[in-house]
Amino acid sequence: MKKPIKLLAICLLAILFSFTLFAQDKTKQIEDLLNKYNQYGQFNGSALVAENGKVILKKGFGSANMEWNIPNQSDTKFRLGSISKQFTAFLIVKLAEEGKIKLDVPITTYLPDYPKATGDKITIHHLLTHTSGIPNYTSLPNFFKDKSRNPYTPEEFVKTFSSLPLEFTPGEKFNYSNSGYFLLGYIIEKISGKSYEQYLQATILTPLKMVNSGYDHSDVILKNRASGYEKRGKKIINSPYLDMSIPYAAGSLYSTVEDLYLWDQALYTNKLLSSKSMESLFNSYIKAGKSSYGYGWFIEEADNGSAGKVKVTQHGGGINGFNTIIYRIPEDKNLIVLLNNTGGTVLNQITESIRAILYNQPFTAPKISLALELLDAFSEQGITSGLNTYNKLKNDPTYAILEGDMNNAGYQLLQSGKTKEAIEVFKINAATYPKSGNAYDSLGEAYLTDGNKKLAIANYKKSVELNPKNDAGKKALEELLKK
């Protein structure tokens, strides 16, 4: 009997060794991928990847502070932006589980001073699922110019948007709104008798030992905090100041990739919530573009190779100087966390490539964003130089025309008064992505700024045709046709 047992042990060791080598190969592929994105200026931050619940990569890339050449590490603290919403949703569901709040009653039940004309129609569920119809305060005219740097109490800030007319009947459709999650934070304070920050700490962060997470305050000395930067073409600048009372329960938290792994693992347990309550976070309540939305999470399906489709729960975040994503595949306990401190970047694209590596699928290699070259050329040397640069590099396989980057480049030119140059960039983007309603919407706005009503109307019409849910485009078109 000894020989078969010994042979079995050797076989098991061989299998274990091969799995270890396989995991190491994936780790190297992911690390090489992130190094290349860092080299191309498209990722500067910290990353954590877990497979089957086990961390296979945990590393920083680039600088946490560029002025002092301090590198990003796995314990670097980043502002999360809208990833904060899943924590706010969790707190609300926790209160519901304890019988302290009902999700299907009007918000005026808990906020009696909220205008009843709209508040009586909006439920907590509507706030959680972005179906309330309350205008998104960060999209209001001159928000960043007039309000974003000033401190507010929750009560004061709610008054800045509570009297605005609803954009649609509550429950009718999905329209992402930071206002709804701001209100949820205020409701948490009213019900719990604690500040949002205190209740978050006591209910989630302390029990899960998330010691490197919390509500960010600009005046607090916070060890290992990453500085926030933004790109202007190839140049990097310090991000504009944002008072953290403004994003509040919709986006004011900070964390590390390590702490978000603890959070991910806790979501597989009933340590803090019952199974039924936990399931309610990840139900698909409303269609949200190509995804659906739960409570603080986007729900979607991704290709799992030969096994078909796999359910994904994910959410991104963007806040002055930071861009983030947490991407979970619960069926396999796979996790991707990317925290970036150079403003908006291609985190969705990076995440898709990492997911492909985890499932042994082909993925697109990183490319240099042509938008960076074009922004510099158009802004510094004018239209002729910009178009020459485009014609020279458009077929170069090391470059790619990335829709989001091109759109950002166009708006940077538009905001700096270079309207003609912006139009050329938006035209290139629309020609490259002819099925993108957003590309034509931006081009329409640029023509409108330039005073070309005819072409503004034509492009807004194309945008609305491609994306019938483009309410802002419809409104702009309506205004143009009145004149």
More confident residue, 79 or 303: 79
Q: How many CB atoms lie within 10 A of CB 39?
A: 13
Q: What distance in Å separates the CA atoms of residue 209 and residue 155, rounded to the nearest whole number?
A: 30
The predicted structure's pLDDT at residue 11: 45
The pair of three-digit structure tokens given for residue 284, joined into one six-digit string: 């698909």
The predicted structure's pLDDT at residue 20: 44
For residue range 258-297, list pLDDT tens digits in order.
Answer: 999 999 999 999 999 999 999 999 999 999 988 999 999 9
The predicted structure's pLDDT at residue 189: 98
Q: How many CB atoms lie within 10 A of CB 140?
A: 15
The predicted structure's pLDDT at residue 465: 93
Encoded amino acid at 282, one letter: F
Please, are residues 148 and 243 in contact by the beta-carbon 8 Å criterion? yes
Distances (CA, A) of 387 to 16, 86, 232, 334, 395: 56, 44, 19, 44, 13
Q: How confident is the model at residue 306 (pLDDT cuts 50, 70, 90)?
A: low
For the chain, domains (ranges, CATH) are: 81-358 (3.40.710.10), 369-482 (1.25.40.10)
In eight-state DSSP terms, residue 40 is T
The helices-and-strands tally (H runs, E runs) of the chain is 19, 17
For residue range 44-53, list pLDDT tens digits in order.
Answer: 999 999 999 9
Mean pLDDT of the chain: 93
